[in-house]
Chains A and B, each alone.
Chain A
Amino acid sequence: MTEQEYIQARRSEPWRDELRRNMKAKERSDRTRVHMPELDAEYRSYSLKEEVNLGLSEEQALFEAARCLDCANPTCMEGCPVSINIPTFIKNIERGEFLEAAKVLKETSALPAVCGRVCPQEKQCESKCIYVQKMKKEAVAIGNLERFAADYERISGKVSLPELAPANGIKIAAVGSGPAGLSFAGDMAKRGYDVTVFEALHEIGGVLKYGIPEFRLPNEIVDVEIDVLRKMGVKFVKNCIVGKTISHEDLKEEGFKGIFAASGAGLPNFMNIPGENLIGVMSSNEFLTRVNLMDASNPESDTPVQMGKKVAIIGAGNTAMDAVRTARRLGAERAMVVYRRSEEEMPARLEEVKHAKEEGIEFMTLHNPLQYEGDANGRVQRMQLQKMELGEPDASGRRKPVPIEGAVEWIDVDEVIVSVGVSPNPLIPSSFKGLEVTKWGTIVVNQDTMQSDLPDVYAGGDIVRGGATVILAMGDGRKAAAAMDAALKK
């Protein structure tokens, strides 16, 4: 059965027919989108661990699910990198079968509770929703509904496992336990493989643990999804760096027939401007790792973190939003986003920008740092900013920021967090002999199969893409699993 036929077959099940007949399309489309309840902005700007988005209630989920028109040709699915069967899970919510909805999610996604929270749905599934495409209305809240179904299942305690093929005894490895590695591991476990995930840090989850803060993605939720993988038979080895602790040759000797390299883009970029090595200037990775992974703001933790009063975050991606909102929650009286382009070009999710603004974050767009100055002890004291204007569009289509001559200013800061992107981690590329990499250090793969020029090595996520998103990494994991499975079965 092709995917198309499978979608149709499920759509024509009698209960789905009945559901469609129960309410007129006009009545569905006249409904306005349900908005997710949130914690009060003032309150939450002091609360590091409480989640901002509170999730839909059952009533809200039922109401929103009925907005979905159950299209014969569900274009929303084209926008999902892991091809979740979106109408099928939403219609299960509409008929009140929430656990069934969660099962549908798990057919293709290893981390639905995560994706429902952190995917930029406005650029993916929801951008392809017929409401947006044809009707100029707000899309069905697919992400919120996904989160609802996954959370419902978790809270119910009746967490189901996806169906597993009989064990085939073939050992395969994932390097890195971030979203790409976990997605790959889940798909291979379903196919009956003996999967081991190797992680360099002391916690499983990659950026989901060290990067994305609790107020956006609670660790407990990540752990529940990882636990499902464990119950599916996936083994996790922490504190093990493939390429350092064990080599590619070791893995082969131990009988691993396929390796999926998903070691991410962990190397933070700096701007190489004067004063960047002063105390108090750090990468967003360092700041977020201290706070999220090491729990540094908790007095019981041995790891320290600086809690600045006047904090500038350089950059305007999702990581920058996470860092600035975290700094605010650690007590920053002034928390600023410094970005060299205008608000329109900001790469962060709209929702994160909105949340940041509500929490009192200042946005200094069209500003670029030139240098930092410290006090006698080498602690950062102020930053010099260059004001910018937008010039002609560059090759990528974005308007290039150009300095306005003479327009510079000094602003007092006691902490600066540099969040201007990351580069691929060189560990795998430098330790796997013969692996082809680009000049940016990303691994070269066949776009359809994610296979590298080493036949047993596949790669995906940020080590292939540079810094991208959780869901694209998961899509790569899925693709690599399908291709590796096909290759091993030949």
Chain B
Amino acid sequence: MNKIVDKEYFSENVVKFEVEAPLIARSRKAGHFVILKVGDKGERIPLTIASSNNERGTITIVIQAVGESSKKICALNAGDYITDMVGPLGQATHIEKYGTVICAGGGVGVAPMLPIMEAMKKAGNRVVSVLAARTKDLVILEKQVAEFSDEVIVMTDDGSYGQQGLVTNGIESVINREQVDLCVTIGPAIMMKFVSLLTKKYNIPTMASLNTIMVDGTGMCGACRVSVGGKTKFVCVDGPEFDAHEVDFDEMLMRLKAYN
């Protein structure tokens, strides 16, 4: 049982939780995720760790209420418990000094991007963050992002905040004006697909953090499998990050609809 020590609403459906998990807080690195389950009949859900606080022994997760399970989790309050939480899972992000790194996050994807930005910045990279959301209310964590970024570009579909346009418009504007050495992207699968298509055109190495259906998260079932470079990989143990240009996004988009 993991106690929720703090809850904050980013918007009506996007919630940030700080949860007690001292062992996970101590061993997690950027890119790692957890699996959590609420209630006896709850489902096991993967969520990337947004940050951790070793002294408080907590980790922070950000979750958007989209389905039954995420709504159930979002309804929890400070003082409540998450029945089961296991991690850190997956491979940590490979961090080194690349030069200029674009961090492109869409929707709640900005939360798991945060630790990567932080690590990239600390490794001496110039970090240009491109945040994208449908509308102003859905832009999250802008202040924290700014802390680890040399520049922040905010894109909204409706132009209600920042610039009007898609994440790819923001990325392309950076590519057009300066040398970009790496792009990291986290967001809805369809967004990552188009980011990948764009950067491929410019030959910019790109990492995508994939969010597939998972059950155990430890490699024992293969529910999360994706084709990467023509080979089947398990996102939970081989990923969640892969070379975006090698990922079969169409297959991944198809598989995400398995239970719709």
Contacts and interface: CB of A to CB of B under 8 A. Distances in A.
A300 B43 CA distance: 11
Interface string B216-260: 101111110111000010100100000000000001001101110
Interface stretch (A38-46, A185-193, A262-270): A262-270
B221 A426 contact: no
A239 B84 contact: yes
B54 interface: no
Contact of B87 (A244, A302, A304, A425): A244
Nearest to A283: B222
Nearest to A276: B232
Interface stretch (A28-36, A287-295, A391-399): A287-295
Contacts of B257: 279, 377-378
Given A279-B255, A377-B257, A302 B219 contact: no
Interface in B145-172: none
B258 A302 contact: no
Contact of B41 (A245, A280, A295): A295
A295 B255 CA distance: 22
Contact of A286 (B69, B83, B222): B222
A290 B220 CA distance: 12
A436 to B, nearest CB: 21
Nearest to B1: A239
A165 interface: no
A408 interface: no
B136 interface: no
B44 interface: yes
B78 interface: no
B9 to A, nearest CB: 23
Interface of B is mostly: mixed
A247 interface: yes
A378 B255 contact: yes
B216 A289 contact: yes
Contact of A245 (B69, B86, B225): B86
A241 B86 contact: yes
Contacts of A286: 215, 221-223
Give the residue among B72, B87, B226, B258 with the most A Cβ atoms within 10 A. Answer: B258
B41 A200 contact: no
Contact of A290 (B24, B215, B225): B215
B84 A425 contact: no
B86 A239 contact: yes
B192 interface: no
B13 interface: no
B147 to A, nearest CB: 28
A266 B23 contact: no
B182 interface: no
Given A245-B27, A272-B232, A302-B72, A279 B219 contact: no
A244 B88 contact: yes
Contacts of B85: 239
Given A202-B37, A277-B251, A277-B255, A246 B43 contact: no
B23 A294 contact: no
B221 A202 contact: no
A257 interface: no
B61 interface: no
A348 interface: no
A164 interface: no
Contact of A268 (B83, B222, B259): B222
A133 interface: no
B89 interface: yes
A108 B89 CA distance: 36
B99 interface: no
Contact of A425 (B86, B218, B222): B218
A353 to B, nearest CB: 25
Contact of B218 (A279, A298, A301, A427): A427
A489 to B, nearest CB: 31
Nearest to A379: B258
13 contacts: A239-B85, A241-B89, A244-B87, A245-B87, A246-B23, A267-B234, A277-B226, A279-B258, A282-B221, A289-B216, A302-B68, A302-B72, A378-B251
Nearest 7 CB-CB pairings of A with B:
A266-B220, A286-B221, A378-B254, A302-B43, A202-B84, A239-B86, A279-B258
Given A201-B86, A301-B41, A427-B219, 13 more contacts: A202-B37, A238-B84, A240-B23, A246-B23, A267-B219, A285-B221, A294-B44, A294-B215, A298-B41, A301-B43, A377-B257, A378-B251, A426-B219
